[in-house]
C-alpha cells in the first residue's frame, strides 16, 4: 500500500512513512532503526533432533505389565475388576434411583459401567459442548449413552457427572471445569526390571507408613510397565494427575470421609497406581521442560476422585502424599532398563 512492489531503503521508508502519517504528525513519530540493531532473520535451518531409539527386545505378553497385573492375585481383588480394570465390583446391593443427594450411588457398578463413565468424562473434559443439548436423541451425549447401552440413564448421568466437574475440590480450590486440561487419557510406558517386593516396600515406607495394607504378590517383573492416566491438568501453575474412581463405598457421607477413602486406597493398592502415574508425569516434565523444570514449584500432586462421593464434605477426593524425594527414589527403583 505504501511502497507497492518496490524495494525501499531505510531512508526511503522513513520518508514514505512520514508522508503517510503526516495527518497524525502530532501523535506519531517515525524513527529509523540503527544499523547495529539486532534483527530477526528467518532461515531454513531446522532444529537438530537425536534419532529415535529403536527397540532391540521383542516383548511377550508376559512382559507387558500394568497396575492390574501387579495386584490381581491379592486376596481382596475381585476376579472381574471394575471401571478400567482397577475398580472392584461391590457386593453391596445398590439402592434404586433416588433424589439428588445420594442418587449418584444408584448407578450400577462393574467393569463396563466404570469404563463408560471414564469415556463420558474424557469427552466432557475435552469438549464442554459434548453434554449440551442432551435431550436431542442425535446429540453426541445421547448417542454415546445409547452406544454403551445406557440410554435410559442418560439424564441423571449427565446431572451427576456435570456436578462432578463443577464441584469445587478442596485440594485445589477449583473445579475440574475451571482447570486447564493438559492431557486426557494420557498413555505412558517405560521399560524396567524390578522385584515387586521392593516396589511394595517403597509404598509402605513413603505413603502412609503408619497404616497396614495387603502385601503385593512376590514376583520379578521385567518388561514394559504401561498405563493410562485419566487426567493431567494444571492449577495455579502446577501440574497434577487425577484418577477417577467409580467405586461404591456406601450410602452415607461418612463412607466418603478421609479415613474411609484412605482405607479403600490402601485396600486396593491405588496408592501404587497413582504413584506410577505421578512418576510418568515427573519423567515427562523432565523430558519436555529440561533444565527449566523445577519440580518443587511446578509439580502439584496426585488426586483420586471417588465420583460417587461428590455430595460428601470431602467431595470424594483424596490426595496421595508424594514428595520429590520419594518420587526420585521410585524413579531410581524403576530406572534400570531391560
Give the DSSP per-residue string, 149-196: T-GGGHHHHHHHHHHHHHSPBTTTTB-TTTSEEEEEEEEEEEEEEEEH
Catalytic residue among 153, 200, 230, 243: 243
Q: Which helix (H) or strand (E) holds 253?
A: none
Instruction: Please give the grid coordinates belonging to residue 193.
Output: 526390571
Backbone angles phi, psi at 197, to 5 degrees: -55, -35
Q: Which residue has the cell 446431572?
A: 159
Look up 243 and say whether it is catalytic: yes
**Which among 126, 74, 57, 32 is positioned nearest to 267, based on CA atoms?**
74
Nearest to 126 by CA among 36, 231, 213: 231
Sign of CA dihedral 215, 216, 217, 220: negative
Report the DSSP pairing between strands 220-235 and 180-195: antiparallel
Supply 17's cell numbers: 512513512
Provide DSSP, 109-128: -SHHHHHHHHHHHHHHHH-G
Q: By the 8 A CB rule, do 167 and 309 touch?
A: no
Q: Residue 289: in which H helix or E strand, if any? A: helix 270-289
With b meaning 16 or more CB within 10 Å and e meaning fewer, what string describes 231-244? bbbebeeebbbbbb
Active site residues: 243
Amino acid at each position: 500500500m505504501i511502497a507497492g512492489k518496490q524495494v525501499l531503503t531505510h531512508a526511503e521508508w522513513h520518508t514514505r512513512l512520514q508522508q503517510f502519517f503526516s495527518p497524525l504528525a502530532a501523535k506519531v513519530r517515525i524513527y529509523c532503526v540503527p544499523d547495529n540493531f539486532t534483527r530477526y532473520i528467518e532461515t531454513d535451518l531446522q532444529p537438530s533432533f537425536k534419532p529415535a531409539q529403536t527397540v532391540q527386545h521383542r516383548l511377550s505378553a508376559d512382559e507387558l505389565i500394568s497396575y492390574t497385573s501387579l495386584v490381581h492375585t491379592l486376596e481382596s481383588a475381585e476376579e472381574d475388576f471394575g471401571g478400567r480394570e482397577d475398580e472392584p465390583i461391590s457386593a453391596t446391593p445398590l439402592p434404586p434411583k433416588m433424589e439428588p443427594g445420594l442418587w449418584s450411588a444408584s448407578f450400577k457398578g462393574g467393569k463396563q459401567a466404570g469404563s463408560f463413565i471414564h469415556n463420558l468424562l474424557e469427552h466432557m473434559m475435552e469438549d464442554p459442548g459434548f453434554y449440551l443439548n442432551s435431550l436431542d436423541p442425535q446429540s453426541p451425549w445421547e448417542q454415546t449413552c445409547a452406544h454403551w447401552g445406557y440410554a435410559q440413564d442418560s439424564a441423571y448421568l449427565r446431572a451427576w457427572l456435570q456436578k462432578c466437574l463443577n464441584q469445587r475440590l478442596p485440594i485445589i480450590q477449583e473445579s475440574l471445569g475451571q482447570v486447564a486440561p493438559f492431557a486426557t487419557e494420557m498413555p505412558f510406558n517405560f521399560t524396567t526390571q524390578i522385584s515387586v517386593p521392593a516396589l511394595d516396600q517403597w509404598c509402605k515406607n513413603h505413603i502412609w507408613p503408619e497404616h497396614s495394607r495387603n502385601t503385593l504378590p512376590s514376583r520379578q517383573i521385567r518388561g514394559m510397565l504401561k498405563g493410562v492416566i485419566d487426567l493431567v491438568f494444571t492449577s495455579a501453575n502446577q501440574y497434577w494427575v487425577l484418577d477417577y474412581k467409580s467405586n461404591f463405598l456406601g450410602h452415607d457421607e461418612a463412607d466418603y470421609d478421609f479415613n474411609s477413602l484412605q482405607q479403600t486406597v490402601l485396600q486396593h493398592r491405588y496408592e501404587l497406581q497413582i504413584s506410577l502415574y505421578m512418576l510418568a508425569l515427573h519423567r515427562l516434565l523432565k523430558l519436555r521442560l529440561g533444565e527449566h523444570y523445577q519440580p518443587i514449584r511446578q509439580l502439584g500432586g496426585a488426586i483420586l476422585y471417588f465420583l460417587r462421593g461428590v455430595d460428601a464434605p470431602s467431595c470424594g477426593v483424596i490426595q496421595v502424599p508424594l514428595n520429590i524425594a520419594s518420587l526420585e527414589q521410585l524413579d531410581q527403583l524403576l530406572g534400570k532398563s531391560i
